[in-house]
């Protein structure tokens, strides 16, 4: 028991008095095994605690039953939920997760990460790094070999050569802004995310569109660029109040910045929502526990995560069916908030 190496399929076969491929049939639940043989082999497996070596299995099958997941910012709300939902769904479907976290989305070297993951023989790759700067140019140009399924998560500028699953960020901006309009707001400011982020630009677009639909102008002085943090949300309100003293509402592109805004409002003695109404995005756990509760746009991150895995699984199956890929038009799936 001390130095016993893990048993192999050969050990099990010997102990059960059958060949290794019969054991293989048993562990793969194939039907063509005599009931009695099945029983005996299973008994041995139970006794020895045998578990097939996934490396060996992967080598012969040409698949690892692992999904490569590339993400940024696990400490933030969105990514942690997405990765959590992906892992859960993947586990249910028999996939393991090989996680790669990147430090800076803007300078990420997609090529080397994809190559590394493929060397690990992952069956498919879920790329959940947001588009920042031109860090997805590789996905538009198709400069990366089409070898092995890659799913892009999150919206991106232009058309991807790869299938994409994303939540409609412009709709988030529209929903939030419409809510503020419905509440009677006339001068609605916005704190955006960093403008290098496509998601941030989309939320801004939704805000602008909704304002302009009322016949008013989406003035530049109503826009402050933020960086997703509480601190900048705070500064943003001071800026907005300076440039637009009539301000009566703000759309914060995420909840963190919304909290900063509320902090600032409190500091300068403006009541929320009476003086200034605020809407955020994310529905973080704290949202409903502030003075007053924060109104926020909910992102269906869990649903999106489930969809991510189902989609990549379908891609994997498809690519295994037809070795000669039919070059199916990449589908762009968009989920509504």
Q: Which residues bind its own copies (CB under 8 A)?
A: 1-4, 6, 49, 51-56, 58-59, 64, 66, 69, 74-75, 77, 80-81, 83-84, 87-88, 91, 96-101, 103, 115-116, 118-121, 145-147, 229-231, 234, 256, 259-260, 263, 266-267, 285-286, 289-291, 323-325
21 sits near DNA (criterion: CB under 7 A): yes
Q: Distance between CA 168 and CA 96 in Å, rounded?
A: 28
Q: How far is the CB of 210 from its own copies (least distance, A)?
A: 28
Tell me which of 27, 101, 102, 205 binds DNA, using CB under 7 A.
Answer: 27
Tell me which of 14, 42, 48, 57 binds DNA, using CB under 7 A.
Answer: 57
232 sits near DNA (criterion: CB under 7 A): no
User: Residue 146 touches which of its own copies, DNA, none (CB < 5 to 8 A by kind)?
Assistant: its own copies
- Whether the link from the prior residue into 327 is cis, omega within 30° of 0, is no
Q: Distance between CA 206 and CA 252 in Å, rounded?
A: 12
CB-nearer residue toward DNA: 34 or 268: 34
Q: Distance between CA 226 and CA 256 in Å, rounded?
A: 11
CB-nearer residue toward its own copies: 18 or 69: 69
Q: How far is the CB of 121 from its own copies (least distance, A)?
A: 5
Give burial (CB, 10 Å; 0-12/13-18/19+) of 70: buried
Which stretch, 30-38, 95-103, 159-167, 276-284, contacts DNA (CB under 7 A)? 30-38
28 sits near DNA (criterion: CB under 7 A): yes
DSSP state string for 148-197: S-EEEES--SS--SS-EEEE-HHHHHHHHHHHHHHTT-SSEEEEE--TTB
Q: How far is the CB of 14 from DNA (least distance, A)?
A: 11
CB-nearer residue toward DNA: 11 or 227: 11
Q: How far is the CB of 211 from DNA (least distance, A)?
A: 56
CB atoms inside a 10 Å sphere around CB 218: 18
Q: Distance between CA 57 and CA 63 in Å, rounded?
A: 8
Q: Distance between CA 283 and CA 210 in Å, rounded?
A: 21
Phi and psi torsions of 251, nearest 5°: -95, 115
Dihedral of CA atoms 296, 235, 208, 333 in degrees, nearest 10, equals -50
- Sites of contact with DNA (CB under 7 A): 5, 8-10, 18-25, 27-28, 31-38, 50, 52-53, 56-57, 59-62
């Amino acid at each position: 028991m001390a130095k016993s190496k893990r048993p192999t399929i050969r050990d099990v076969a010997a102990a059960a008095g059958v060949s290794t491929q019969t054991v293989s049939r048993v562990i793969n639940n194939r039907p063509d095994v005599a009931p009695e043989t099945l029983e005996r082999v299973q008994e041995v497996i139970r006794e020895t605690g045998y578990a097939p070596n996934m490396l060996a299995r992967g080598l012969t099958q040409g698949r690892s039953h692992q999904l490569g997941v590339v993400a940024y910012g696990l400490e933030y709300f969105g990514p942690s939920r997405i990765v959590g939902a992906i892992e859960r769904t993947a586990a249910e479907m028999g996939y393991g997760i090989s996680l790669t976290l990147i430090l800076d989305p803007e300078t990420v070297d997609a090529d080397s990460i994809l190559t590394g993951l493929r060397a690990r023989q992952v069956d498919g790759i879920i790329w959940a790094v947001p588009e920042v700067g031109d860090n997805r140019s590789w996905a538009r140009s198709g400069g990366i070999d089409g070898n092995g399924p890659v799913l892009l998560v999150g919206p991106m500028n232009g058309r991807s050569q790869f299938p994409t699953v994303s939540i409609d960020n412009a709709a988030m901006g529209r929903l939030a802004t419409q809510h503020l309009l419905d509440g009677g707001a006339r001068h609605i400011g916005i704190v955006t995310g960093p403008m290098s982020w496509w998601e941030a630009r989309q939320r801004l677009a939704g805000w602008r569109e909704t304002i302009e639909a009322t016949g008013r102008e989406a003035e530049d002085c109503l826009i402050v660029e933020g960086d997703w943090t509480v601190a900048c949300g705070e500064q943003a309100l001071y800026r907005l109040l300076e440039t637009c003293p009539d301000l009566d509402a703000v759309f914060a592109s995420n909840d963190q910045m919304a909290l900063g805004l509320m902090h600032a409002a409190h500091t300068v003695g403006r009541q929320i929502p009476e003086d200034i109404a605020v809407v955020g995005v994310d529905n973080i756990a704290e949202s409903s526990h502030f003075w007053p509760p924060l109104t926020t746009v909910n992102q269906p991150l869990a649903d999106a995560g489930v969809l991510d895995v189902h989609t990549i699984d379908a891609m994997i199956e498809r690519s295994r069916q037809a070795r000669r890929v039919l070059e199916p038009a990449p589908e762009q799936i968009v989920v509504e908030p």
